[in-house]
């Protein structure tokens, strides 16, 4: 489980990283909003801890940018504890809010609670799509796309690695646990073609799935 901390106080960042690492989390630290956004795109974390007061621009602006891309759990950590600040944070999509100074034990419990809520989510909303992981279904503008189980798993794997190029082998490694038959890596290309047809996605100007020559495929984020 990977956690990105966007926090300009080096000492607090180090302490959080030390404590969370002992709990088994992989922790990445950024000290500015811009570098935090870059790490978000590169590392594809499972949860973000975000300070509101950052040296280049506000954490709220970073929160908005991230939530536009993907519905990922975000916990605000800040010295600003006024009610208006908390309300604004939640309004912009924050999943929890913890005020400095805080207990590291409480922080871990909050992280686990937020991750549990996300694990239980039944619907993922992405662009004009609604994705139902438990039912293996994708809806576009309210209409169900008739995907096979393997097509759905390929799509979900690309979504979970939003913006990151995956090789055919990496895609297969991710879906083998759900698919009992051996799969030839080039058959991924056939399934991608089928997915594009069902999504009405133009391979030359892709909205969802982009071909990365010499590598494989990636899911197109809203920033691309």
pLDDT in tens, 7-56: 998 999 999 999 899 888 899 999 999 999 999 988 888 899 999 889 99
Token duo for residue 67: 């939530």
Residue-level pLDDT at 180: 44
Distance CA 179, CA 20 (A): 33
Distance CA 23, CA 145 (A): 40
Residue-level pLDDT at 120: 58
Give the SS3 label for residue 29: strand
8 A C-beta contact, residue 48 and residue 66: yes
Residue-level pLDDT at 122: 67
Q: pTM, whole model, 2 decimals?
A: 0.58
Sign of the Cα pseudo-torsion (205, 211, 214, 215, in order): positive
Mark the ranges of the chain whose per-residue pLDDT is less than 50. 177-183
Domains and CATH numbers, the chain: 2-119 (3.40.50.2300), 124-219 (1.10.10.10)
């Amino acid at each position: 489980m990977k956690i990105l901390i966007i926090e300009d106080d080096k000492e607090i960042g180090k302490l959080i990283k030390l404590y969370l690492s002992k709990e088994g989390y992989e922790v990445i630290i950024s000290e500015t909003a811009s570098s935090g956004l870059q790490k978000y795109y590169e590392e594809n974390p499972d949860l973000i801890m975000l300070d509101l007061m950052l040296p280049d621009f506000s954490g709220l602006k970073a929160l908005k940018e991230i939530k536009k891309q993907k519905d990922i759990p975000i916990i605000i950590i800040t010295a600003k504890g006024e009610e208006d600040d908390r309300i604004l944070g939640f309004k912009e999509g924050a999943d929890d809010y913890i005020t400095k100074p805080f207990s590291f034990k409480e922080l871990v419990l909050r992280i686990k609670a937020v991750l549990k809520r996300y694990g239980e989510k039944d619907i993922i909303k992405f662009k004009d799509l609604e994705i139902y992981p438990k039912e293996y279904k994708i809806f576009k503008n309210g209409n169900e796309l008739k995907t096979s189980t393997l097509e759905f798993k390929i799509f979900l794997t690309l979504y979970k690695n939003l913006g990151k190029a995956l090789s055919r082998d990496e895609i297969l490694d991710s879906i083998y646990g759900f698919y009992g038959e051996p799969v030839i890596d080039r058959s991924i290309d056939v399934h991608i073609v089928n997915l594009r047809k069902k999504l009405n996605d133009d391979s030359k100007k892709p909205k969802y799935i982009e071909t990365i020559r010499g590598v494989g495929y990636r899911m197109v984020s809203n920033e691309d």
